[in-house]
Structure 1
Amino acid sequence: MGKYDELFARVKAKAKDVDKTIFDLIPEKEPRALYEASRHYPLAGGKRVRPFVVLRAAEAVGGDPRKALYPAAAVEFIHNYSLVHDDIMDMDELRRGRPTVHKLWGVNMAILAGDLLFSKAFEAIARADVSPEKKAKILDVLVRTSNMLCEGQALDIEFETRKEVTVEEYLKMISGKTGALFQGSAEIGAIVGTDNGEYIKALAKWGMNVGIAFQIWDDVLDLIADEEKLGKPVGSDIRKGKKTLIVGHFFQNASEEDKAEFLKVFGKYAGDAKGDALIHDEQVKGEVAKAIELLKKYGSIDYAAQYAKNLVEEANEALKVLPESEARKDLELLAEFLVEREF
């Protein structure tokens, strides 16, 4: 990934400033359990990609990235609050290789920790070094983003009880679950840096496209990636019955016979406590491999991969209204990386 090495060196450098802002807002204090639980995911690392987008978007429109630090922290708080609550809903025990918040502190404290992270996002905006008018615009974006996150998650939960989900329904769901936060990050950064409506609109479009492409590519990798690079068994989404663009395309194009065959495996091990162990079972691997072959038969995986790449092309095309700069180039590179990565 040579051409991305310098990009991620810059991501890492900017993350240090963002982290200082984050931990100034959630220090070690009483009640200790609440603040330890709230700090758990931010301390676990993560690349801080969304805060990087906020800072680079501000620079790309000619603004001062230092003024975007508190808004960047706000975006990361919203992201982490959603992860805490998602993990409770999914009853996941690991996140970034570490025990989840509810696993360590219990469900009640985890809910409170998520709530605290959510409120800290608004405290961060209150502290931002921008005009009251800009704060109002940023708050408007943050509220819309949070609403869309909740709507996307609600649709995702609803989809769990359905056999089929259309391509359109999936895209609506994912525009809330992953698109909204990328859109909000880029838009908030632009608002910090400029009053130019065309620039703000361009970055908002870039963010939504990139956020959706990021998730679609994740779904593609689940089926085609090298297991060691991916860090989890290939095909786990099939085992769990996860509705994706790939699956939506398959259901809209497959014969009834092939749909029936696919459904014998799809979601077979969802909610099974033994599921994670069974995925390494040779019989289960064989079942999943057959399901993947059915998806390939209808070109569903290629369809999704191309869809993600097209979204990134459209995203970077939207940025051409901005003046050329290293910041704009970083955003373009980041978008390209998200649909070229192998994990």
Structure 2
Amino acid sequence: MGKYDELFARIKEKAKDVDRVILELVPEKEPLELYKAARHYPLAGGKRVRPFVVLRAAEAVGGDPEKALYPAASVEFIHNYSLVHDDIMDMDELRRGRPTVHKLWGVNMAILAGDLLFSKAFEAIAKAEVPAEKKARILDVLVRTSNLLCEGQALDIEFETKEEVTVEEYLKMISGKTGALFQGSAEIGAIVGTEDEEYIGALSKWGMNVGIAFQIWDDVLDLIADEEKLGKPVGSDIRKGKKTLIVSHFFEHASEEDKAEFLKVFGKYAGDAKGDALIHDENVKEEVAKAIELLKKYGSIDYAANYAKNLIREANEALKVLPESEARRDLELLAEFLVEREF
């Protein structure tokens, strides 16, 4: 991954500036437990990829990245608020290797911490050093992004009770759940940096494509990655019954017999408290391996991998309207990395 080393270094460098703004807006203050809970995920690290997109998008269109710092923090607040609430809904106990907010502070305080992070996103926009008309437009994007996030999450919850989800339904869900925030990040950065509608539109398209591809590639990795690099057992999504583009493609092409065979395993351990331990059981591993072979039989994993890579190609093609620059190249490299990573 040598070609990405400089990109990673710049992401790390920009993250320091964003972190300064985040901790300025969410200080240690009364009520102490609320602010501790709200600071928990931001302080846990995270790569700050979405804020990096805001800053580089502003620069790629000829703007001043300094003016994009508060807007960059705003998208990270939205991202973290969604993680707090997602973890409550999924009752997950770990996030980034640390106990989740609701595990440490209880569900009620975690909901409030998420709400606080959400409101801080709008406070960050209010502090942005951009003209009033740009602030209004950025707020529009942030509101649209938040709406789409909620809609995507609601669709994902609905999918839990559906046996089959079509490719079209999946793409609609994921465009809200992961596409919207990448799209909003790129668009907000562009709005900070330019008045050029063609540039803003190009970055908006880039962001949506990259966000969808990012999630699809995650789902591919769940089935093909090296367990040590992935940091979780391969096939976790099958065990939990997670609806993905891969599974949607399979259900649209598989024979009734193969569907029935797949459904014997798919979702078998969803909501099972012992599920995480069971995945290491040899019988369970064998079941999951057979399910993965069925997905391969119909080319479903390859279909999803190619879909993600095509989205990235289209995303970077859209950026060609922008002048060549280090910032534009960073965005292109980031997009490429998201479908080349092994974890």
What TM-score comes out, normalization by structure 1 length?
Answer: 1.00
1:291 and 1:143 mapped to 2: Cα distance? 40
Equivalent residue, structure 2, for 1:273: 273
How far did 1:17 drift? Answer: 0.2
Question: Which segments of 5 or more consecutive residues in structure 2 lack a partner in the other structure?
Answer: none
Equivalent residue, structure 2, for 1:185: 185
Note if 1:87 corresponds to 2:87: yes
How many residue pairs get aligned? The number is 343
Aligned pairs (5 A) from 1:195-234: 195-234=195-234
Amino acid at match of 1:339: V
2:266 and 2:165 mapped to 1: Cα distance? 13
Q: Deviations over 1:22-53 (max 9, x none)?
A: 00000001100000000000000010000000
Amino acid at match of 2:169: E
Equivalent residue, structure 2, for 1:255: 255
How far did 1:286 drift? Answer: 0.2
Amino acid at match of 2:173: M
How far did 1:208 drift? Answer: 0.1
1:245 and 1:130 mapped to 2: Cα distance? 40
1:167 and 1:223 mapped to 2: Cα distance? 18
Amino acid at match of 1:136: A
How far did 1:325 drift? Answer: 0.3
1:42 and 1:327 mapped to 2: Cα distance? 25
Question: Which segments of 5 or more consecutive residues in structure 1 lack a partner in the other structure?
Answer: none
Q: Deviations over 1:113-147 (max 9, x none)?
A: 00000000000000000000000000000000000
SS in 2 for 1:106: helix
Equivalent residue, structure 2, for 1:300: 300
What TM-score comes out, normalization by structure 2 length?
Answer: 1.00
Q: Deviations over 1:87-122 (max 9, x none)?
A: 000000000000000000000000000000000000
Instruction: Give the CA RMSD over aligned residues.
Output: 0.2
How far did 1:186 drift? Answer: 0.0
How far did 1:233 drift? Answer: 0.1
1:292 and 1:182 mapped to 2: Cα distance? 30
1:196 and 1:96 mapped to 2: Cα distance? 38
SS in 2 for 1:273: coil
Matched residues, percent identical?
A: 90
Equivalent residue, structure 2, for 1:136: 136
Equivalent residue, structure 2, for 1:69: 69
Note if 1:99 corresponds to 2:99: yes
Equivalent residue, structure 1, for 2:108: 108
How far did 1:249 drift? Answer: 0.1
Note if 1:32 corresponds to 2:26: no
1:187 and 1:107 mapped to 2: Cα distance? 33
Equivalent residue, structure 2, for 1:333: 333
SS in 1 for 2:113: helix
